[in-house]
Structure 1
Amino acid sequence: MKFYEIHDPYYALIKAKDEADAERFYNEYISDTDDYENFQDEEINEVSRDYALSEYKRVMKKYGETDHHLIMETFNVPAGEMLLWDGSLT
């Protein structure tokens, strides 16, 4: 799996098999319009696994999840998914 980060219009950290899959996740779960079907190169960035894990752990701990085993187990699920998203969307 690869990891992708989008900052605008809403933040998302996505685990996906490729950039097209990440865009599909974003459009399905985050965007409420079809305006983001053709991301520009600067709008979606592939990030390293270490960076994605660091961000995921930071946010999970911020919201009270401190069980390292559970965090790793969830992060390492071998399927594409939304890992983090903009808090204003909840």
Structure 2
Amino acid sequence: MKFYEVNEPYYALIKAKNDENAMTIYTDVVADDDGGLSEEITEVTEAYATIIYSRVNGEDNNVIPVKEVLEHLTNEEEMVLVIDGSLL
């Protein structure tokens, strides 16, 4: 799996097999593509994604447990890991 970050129009950290899948996940879950998404999406390292994801609060506003962070980062499921808080 690879990790992708989008900063505009809304922040998201996505785990996907490739950038095309990451863009599809972004448009399905976060926001529509206004034509500039391909320029806004960037691949980030696993270490960077791990640090960002481990610092995010979960649904109960508590830090996500390490075991859960590792499970989400290492399983084969494509997913949004972090989403802009204004969208929740």
Q: CA contact under 8 A between 1:60 and 1:71: conserved in structure 2?
A: no
Pick aligned residue for 2:45 from 41, 44, 48: 48
2:84 is equivalent to residue 78 of structure 1: no
> How many residues in Structure 1 have an aligned counterpart in Structure 2?
86
Q: Which runs of 5+ in 2 are unaligned?
A: none
Q: Which runs of 5+ in 1 are unaligned?
A: none
**RMSD, matched Cα:** 1.8
Question: 1:87 — aligned with what?
Answer: 85
Q: CA contact under 8 A between 2:17 and 2:78: conserved in structure 1?
A: yes
What are the residue-to-residue correspondences of 1:22-41 with 2, within 5 Å?
Answer: 22-31=22-31, 33-36=32-35, 39-41=37-39
What are the residue-to-residue correspondences of 1:61-76 with 2, within 5 Å?
Answer: 63-65=61-63, 67-76=65-74
Could you list the runs of 4 or more consecutive aligned residues of structure 1 that deviate by over 3 angstroms after TM superposition?
A: none
Quote the offset at 1:69 in angstroms. Answer: 1.6
Identity %: 38
Q: Distance in 2 between matches of 1:66 and 1:84?
A: 11
